[in-house]
């Protein structure tokens, strides 16, 4: 059972509550399903904000530079627009 599959968690949680009468475990799984769903929605909103910010057709070059004391100023990541 995939621990992040919302439908599976919901069905199994309801099964435990209604059929097996294990209210405690069923409620735990239903809470987990709710948490995973809210997390997925928050991640989707964050991704949508990034797309609006830079746009899919944007020519914005993004360079990530380390801020760690022992590696300060070292480039750690870039996007594909750097080649332009």
13-23 pLDDT per residue, tens = 899 999 888 89
Instruction: Return the number of other C-beta atoms located less than 10 Å from residue 17's C-beta.
Output: 17
Calculate the alpha carbon distances from 22 to 11, 40, 67 in Å: 14, 27, 50
Q: pLDDT (tens digit, 9 = 90+) per residue, 25-82? A: 999 989 988 988 888 888 888 777 776 666 666 677 888 898 888 888 888 888 877 7
Indicate the domain borders of the chain. Answer: 6-83
Confidence of residue 1 (pLDDT cuts 50, 70, 90): low
pTM over 0.85: no
């Amino acid at each position: 059972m995939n621990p992040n599959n919302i439908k599976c968690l919901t069905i199994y949680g309801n099964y435990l509550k209604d059929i097996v009468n294990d209210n405690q475990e069923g409620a735990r799984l239903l809470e987990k399903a709710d948490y995973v769903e809210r997390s997925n929605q928050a991640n989707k909103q964050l991704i949508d904000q990034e797309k609006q910010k830079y746009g899919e057709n944007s020519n914005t070059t993004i360079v990530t530079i380390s801020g760690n004391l022992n590696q300060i100023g070292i480039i750690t990541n870039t996007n594909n627009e750097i080649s332009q």
